[in-house]
Structure formats: C-alpha cells, structure tokens
Amino acid sequence: MTQENNQVNANSHVSQEFIAFAIKKEVLRFGEFKTKAGRLSPYFFNAGLFNDGESLMKLGEFYATAIENSGIEFDMLFGPAYKGITLAASIAIAFAKRGRNVPYAYNRKEAKDHGEGGIIVGSPLKGQVLIIDDVISAGTSVRESVELIQVNGATACGVAIAIDRQEKGLGELSAVQEVIKNNQIPVCAIANLKDLLYFLQNKQEMVQNLHKVEMYRQQYGTI
C-alpha cells in the first residue's frame, strides 16, 4: 500500500473506533456481497443491524462527532425513510446530550390522507437542513430528499453518512463525489474506504480481508 493509502482522515480516531464497533456488531461484514451496481464486494455495511438501544446510542454519538468535525452548519436534521428515521433520531439525542437541542424530521413513503396528513413527520422543514443516511449508492435518496426539502421552503446544506465506499458511481467519480457535484452540497462520513484499509492493515487476523478489499479498490476505487 502507498503512503497516501496509509493516511487516514482528520476524523481518524473516531473512524477507527467506529469500524471496530461496526465489525463487533456484525454490521460491517466480510465475504462476497453483490452491490446495487452489480459488483461483487468483499465487504458489506448494513446499518439496519444497529438494532438495539445501546447500538443506536453509540451510533448517534459517532455521527454527531463526525458532523461536528466536518464544520457543516445546520439548523435541523432530516432522515429519509426508512433507515434515515432512526439515524436522525439517534443523532438528535446525541446532540441533546451535548447541550444542543436539534429538531429533526422524516418523510413517509406515502402521504397520509387522515389525521394531520402530509408526508413530513416531526419538525417542520426550515432553515439549513442536514440529510442523514447510512451510505450513498446511486444518490437517488439524496436527490429526492433535496427536492422534498426545497419544496417545503428549506435548504439542504449537506449530507452525513456512516460509510463512504469511495468507489466509482456512474462514471469516474464516486457516488459521494457525484452527489457533491450534482447537488452542490458537502458530504461528511464517519469513516471511508481509506479508513477501512488502514484498520485492516493493522489487524493481523484480517490480512486476508485486507488483500480482497485492496483488490476491489484497485478495480473500482477512486482513491
């Protein structure tokens, strides 16, 4: 691996702790998994497996730290259905523990035609809205979220995700880079592929996974 690949981002301590936590919870697994793009990936991240109170509490803290370190300024959080709902809630709780009471909202998949009605649940969308998701694959969820936020008179100011796979999207850019370019908003992640490679490099028992992930990066990566 090159010296550049050995470097980790400014969020390195948090990212390494997060990767260890995700592996422990079997949210981050290694093997052979088919991605939405039809690629055979040697690793898979499923945030839906953060499925108990303690896991969600810690996950919210990881997100909150990454968001703070990113410098993105925001007024509220938006979690697109379905995974984004619990993610946004856990992050709002994490910020409340830090002394900042952050409003959050999420959308329904289908508009409700009774009771309060509408498609938005939670705080009204207003000001600078930070979109919360687990990963960015094709950028569809982000695009739909940006449009929904704009329709409601607010502004999407960025996206926070758990893992940036740093692999090619539709072209030479990564899916995250495409979102940044197409929507003109920043994206922050708790950890990325470079962080994962660094983690695996320092775990002798995972050397086999390191080689497979490195080979995958050489074929599809943008780093």
State the pLDDT at residue 68. Answer: 97
Q: Are 83 and 48 in contact (CB under 8 A)?
A: yes
Torsion of the alpha carbons at 55, 24, 39 and 140, rounded to the nearest 10: 10
Is omega for the bond preceding 82 within 30 degrees of 0, making it cis?
yes
State the pLDDT at residue 113. Answer: 53
Burial class (CB in 10 A: 0-12, 13-18, 19+), 210: buried
Strands 104-112 and 155-164, by their bridges, are unpaired
State the pLDDT at residue 214. Answer: 95
What does the alpha-carbon distance between residue 208 and residue 203 come to, in Å, rounded to a whole number? Answer: 10
State the pLDDT at residue 50. Answer: 95
The CA-to-CA distance between both ends of the chain, in Å, stands at 12
What does the alpha-carbon distance between residue 218 and residue 223 come to, in Å, rounded to a whole number? Answer: 9
Backbone angles phi, psi at 75, to 5 degrees: -105, -30
Instruction: Encode the chain (223 residues) as per-residue pLDDT tens digits.
Output: 333 333 344 458 899 999 999 999 999 999 999 987 789 999 999 999 999 999 999 999 999 999 999 999 999 999 999 899 999 999 999 999 999 999 999 998 776 554 455 799 999 999 999 999 999 987 888 999 999 999 999 999 999 999 999 999 888 899 999 999 999 999 999 999 999 999 999 988 888 899 999 999 999 999 8
Q: Which residues, at least 6 apart from 91, have a Cβ–Cβ distance to it below 8 Å?
A: 60, 63, 64, 67, 77, 102, 104, 132, 160
Tell me which residues are annotated as active site: 112, 114
What does the alpha-carbon distance between residue 118 and residue 114 come to, in Å, rounded to a whole number? Answer: 9
Domains and CATH numbers, the chain: 3-220 (3.40.50.2020)
State the pLDDT at residue 187. Answer: 97
Q: Which two tokens stand for residue 52?
A: 């108990």
SS (H, E, C) 102-132: CCEEEEEEEEECCCCCEEEEECCCCCEEEEE
